[in-house]
Structure 1
Amino acid sequence: MIGFLSWRIAPRRAAPIVAGALHPLLVVTGIALIAVALVRTVTDAERIVHPVLAIGAIVAVAVASLGLVLATDPVRPPTSALAFGLTVAAALTADGLSAAAGWGASNVLWDDWGPVVIGVVILSFSMFRPGRELAAATVVSLVVVGSISAAEAGDLPETVSPLTSAVIACTPVLLFGVASSVFSYRMSLTLARQQELAGREQRGLARRVRIRLRELMRDSGRAELSAEVVPFFEEVLARGALAPGDPARARRLSAVLRSEIMTGVGLPWLERLRRARPGRLVLHDPAAVAESLPVEQKVALRALLTALLAHPETEGSALHVRVTEVGEHRSVFVRAPWTAGEPAARRALGSFVAVMGTAFGRSQVTVGGGELRLLFAQNPRVTDAGPWHD
């Protein structure tokens, strides 16, 4: 329980593949909520006293559904606390307007569709927000729904008490809210344990890579020695004395050998990628920030660039990549020629952008003027800063 209250949300709440697979289901959920509101409003038309409020309730449900779909879009992570709060507020507004539209006309309070909509909305965010926020939203929703139901019961015939009305109305919200909070909490613990395990494995892998790198450097050194240095030593041994030009030749060989080893080993990975594709990548990273990126960000960026370079839209054109770091803020900006429009970009690169957004924490994708612009940003010390803007 202490972890439930003190746990801080991680930048990566859900794997991008999982979030991408879940998003179509959330779209269907939003459509279903609108359909439920429409059907229940039409079937209960005889008890509606204020039609304008009933229409407003349907509009509020549509706003909540749209907020749910946009807030959980895996291409634009993360799902912010503000988006979650506004979506729940829209669902609460729909419940209030629905109750006001038929106020005092019926005492069948358990037929109200508002509490179910609120509960489903909270449940839909269980993979994207921490358990404490879901629990807080549940408590606020219970207070609002219970108050509305109790007040409405006071204006109805004496067939049910305000307390009973509140309990009946709050039951769906309570069930969905508790389920979402517990699920999110358990998933958070699982993610935290996996991150700790991945950290230990990464440290062990880094140690093994350093050992192997030293071995490769020794092997490279031997190859260079066998090519020029060893023949030089053999000549000196054959003569039995140093010639006047031998010291200068030795210094030259030493400088060449050192340069070859350090160039091959110490070249930044993004620079190696640029040299492997001459003319296709224009790199702007004077401070070599890309070299200090975590492993998951390097892998995600390399996969995105490889996919862009292989796409027919960018064939024969140059991609511009800018990596910057100002204080604790780090960003990657990619520009590529693109004339196929945003839907084609989402189909071709949606999974890569989702992975990048998950690895960095903030993402922005724009298509226009025959160009595709992708912007990813991270603040290592901020874990939940809301949507990122340029």
Structure 2
Amino acid sequence: MNLDPPISSSEVTLERLDPLSAAAARPVTTGAALLALVLPPLTLLSRGHEVTQPLWLIVSYAALGGAAWLLLDRSRSTRPVWTAPSAQVFQVLLMVMLVTAAAATAGANDLVRDDWAPLVVGVLLVASTPYRPAREILFWTIVHTLLCAALGVIQAPSAITDVPALTLAVTGSFSIAVMGFAAAAYARSLTSSTQLWHDRAWQSAAAAALEHRSGVARSVQQRRVSLLNREVVPYLQRVVNADGIGDDDREEARRLARSIRTLLVSDVEKTWAQLMLDDLVGRHPRLNITAVADDPDDLGRRAVLERRTLLRALAAISVERLSATGLALRLSTPEGRLAVRWEVATPRPLPDAHRELRSMLELIRGLTLRSSVHELPGRLVIEFEYGY
């Protein structure tokens, strides 16, 4: 069951396809944001005489600070993935910065090609590559390029440099065009190659899942055979060797019938989530683990392979890395989305457990929507919703 529409090719980002690679790019994102914040002061050290409207300069730098903060905030592991409305705010702030930076030097701009604002926009477009789709970056590159070209034409009559307006338009927007188009091409290349690997990996995973499914079926069958060998066969042998059947034998037959019926019914009525947890607990017989799944509608069985794989991976890492003593999984469908609440009881200190799950939390952040992690006494709670 796919509760949400599949992600379209125009919305693909590296963070959604490969969250851990996007997480590894955060130091670069941070460096680019800091570079964008440092460029204006450095430029003004040599060209401060061109500032004719200091108030507009302050507004432009404030807009730059807001855009840089938004970029850094939306790339943090504790925040949900960067959504389109928030990204539009980011681009609008860059447009405000371009306009106000041009207004700050009105009438005194000597070399439009050396303005800091277009360079900063190009740097931030490159920094957004892991988090935004290539088509979106391309669209906003065109918008910013045209805006800068228009600002160059507007500044031409009052510019100190006596060059044609078209020259100012080209030189003023060139840096944005070069870096923005390069960022869009890079994002496209990354997502295309990752998508190809992604599709091949899931094909292999699907084949492995079919093989594992037969193994689970054999495991269930072995439980039934074990019951027969352990209790039913000895009883029948005893009845065959006995001269007659007494009341004790009849009572034993009733007990065995109830036991077999209970086993068969429980196997049929168990949800996918509970079977998954039981299978995991069965692989670690030395650990005393309580595993409970709350999935009355059996949403796990109808979920797509990617979602079941993530749930199984989260269960496995909770046991293997946190030495979990209790697992609780709850699946529901608020507003048509598959919502997951995962509770892990662990003897380890919760801050240590949180750090141990950092890579998994990065993965969850990239693949889901509205993810959150919080702590209860002795338990780590992870909640997320699938948003695409």
Does structure 1 conserve the Cα–Cα contact (< 8 Å) formed by 2:277 and 2:291? Answer: no
CA spacing shift, 1:306–1:279, aligned 2, 3 Å: closer
Structure 2 counterpart of 1:362, from 355, 370, 387: 370
1:1-390 equivalences under 5 Å are 7-10=9-12, 13-157=16-160, 159-239=162-242, 243=245, 249-250=252-253, 252-260=255-263, 263=266, 266=270, 267-270=274-277, 285-289=295-299, 294-302=307-315, 305-306=318-319, 322-326=330-334, 328-333=336-341, 347=355, 349-365=357-373, 374-379=382-387, 383=388
1:59-90 residue CA offsets vs partner (Å, 9 max, x unmatched): 22211111111122233231112222222222
Task: Give me the identity figure in percent.
Answer: 22
Q: Which amino acid aligns with 2:308?
A: V
- Farther-moved stretch of structure 1 (321-330 vs 228-237): 321-330
Q: Which amino acid aligns with 1:332?
A: V
CA spacing shift, 1:367–1:104, aligned 2, 3 Å: farther
Distance 1:158 1:281 in 2: 74
Does structure 2 conserve the Cα–Cα contact (< 8 Å) formed by 1:131 and 1:182? Answer: yes
Q: Which amino acid aligns with 1:325?
A: T
Determine the structure 1 residue equivalent to 2:5: none
Q: CA deviation at 1:194?
A: 3.0
Distance 2:99 2:62 in 1: 12
Q: CA deviation at 1:292?
A: 5.1
Q: CA deviation at 1:163?
A: 0.9
Q: Which amino acid aligns with 1:298?
A: L
Distance 2:223 2:327 in 1: 33
CA spacing shift, 1:189–1:258, aligned 2, 3 Å: farther
Question: What is the aligned-residue RMSD (CA, Å)?
Answer: 3.8
Distance 1:195 1:210 in 2: 22
1:193-229 residue CA offsets vs partner (Å, 9 max, x unmatched): 2333233223312221222233333433332222122
Distance 2:54 2:106 in 1: 12
CA spacing shift, 1:24–1:310, aligned 2, 3 Å: farther
CA spacing shift, 1:192–1:348, aligned 2, 3 Å: closer
1:256-296 residue CA offsets vs partner (Å, 9 max, x unmatched): 23534665794433477799987977865444545655233
* Structure 1 unpaired stretches of 5+: 1-5, 384-390
Q: Which amino acid aligns with 1:204?
A: A
Q: Which amino acid aligns with 1:99?
A: A
TM-score, normalised by the number of residues in structure 2: 0.79
Q: CA deviation at 1:91?
A: 2.1
Does structure 2 conserve the Cα–Cα contact (< 8 Å) formed by 1:304 and 1:353? Answer: no
Distance 2:254 2:310 in 1: 41
SS in 2 for 1:75: coil
Q: How many residues are paired up?
A: 367
SS in 1 for 2:78: coil
TM-score, normalised by the number of residues in structure 1: 0.79
CA spacing shift, 1:183–1:132, aligned 2, 3 Å: same
Distance 2:20 2:163 in 1: 48
Q: CA deviation at 1:337?
A: 10
CA spacing shift, 1:9–1:58, aligned 2, 3 Å: same
Distance 1:152 1:117 in 2: 19
Distance 1:343 1:167 in 2: 53
Q: Which amino acid aligns with 2:55?
A: V
Distance 2:33 2:193 in 1: 28
Does structure 1 conserve the Cα–Cα contact (< 8 Å) formed by 2:110 and 2:161? Answer: no
Distance 1:345 1:53 in 2: 48
Does structure 2 conserve the Cα–Cα contact (< 8 Å) formed by 1:14 and 1:127? Answer: no
Distance 1:231 1:281 in 2: 33
* Structure 2 unpaired stretches of 5+: 1-7
Does structure 2 conserve the Cα–Cα contact (< 8 Å) formed by 1:75 and 1:350? Answer: no
CA spacing shift, 1:208–1:188, aligned 2, 3 Å: same
Does structure 1 conserve the Cα–Cα contact (< 8 Å) formed by 2:36 and 2:120? Answer: yes
